[in-house]
Amino acid sequence: QVQLVESGGGLVKPGGSLRLSCAASGFTFSDYYMSWIRQAPGKGLEWVSYISSSGSTIYYADSVKGRFTISRDNAKNSLYLQMNSLRAEDTAVYYCARETPTDYIDYWGQGTLVTVSS
């Protein structure tokens, strides 16, 4: 069965950095586009970043452009999100998500909490 397991969340000071990982299993990872979606406490869902199956095509939300970097290692079945220059408003649960050709998400991880606070 499809599994997406995020890790790497935690407490970080404003201006700091954090790297999130997502371990995928139960499907051919290299065949799928992937995304990071986040949800601030008590708030709605926000798409953050998207990467094609090969890693050659990448998109970012304006709110994180220039600060976050998405990447993947198909040999390790893993997705990453490098987050730099973190701000309080980046505090959220970050979900790893599997994309489909018509841009809906069919599987989500359980999420990892990132808290940006001094």
Partner 1 sequence: QSALTQPRSVSGSPGQSVTISCTGTSSDVGGYNYVSWYQQHPGKAPKLMIYDVSKRPSGVPDRFSGSKSGNTASLTISGLQAEDEADYYCCSYAGSYTLKVFGGGTKLTVL
Q: x/- binding map, residues 53-82, to partner 1, per CB under 8 A?
A: ------x--x--------------------
Give the 3-state secondary structure of residue 30: helix
Site residue total, partner 1 (CB under 8 A): 19
Contact yes or no for 14/118 (Cβ under 8 A) = yes
For residues 90 to 109, the per-residue mask of contacts with partner 1, x marking binding by CB under 8 A and - elsewhere, is -----x----x-xxxxx-xx
**Cβ-proximal residues to 66 (8 Å cutoff; 6+ apart), any chain:** none
- Does position 111 interact with partner 1 (CB under 8 A)? The reply is yes
Distance of closest approach, residue 67 Cβ to partner 1, in angstroms? 18
Integer Cα distance of 107 and 118 in angstroms: 34
Using DSSP bridges, classify how beta strands 112-116 and 10-12 pair: parallel, antiparallel or unpaired: parallel
Site residues, partner 1 (CB under 8 A): 35, 44-47, 50, 59, 62, 95, 100, 102-106, 108-111
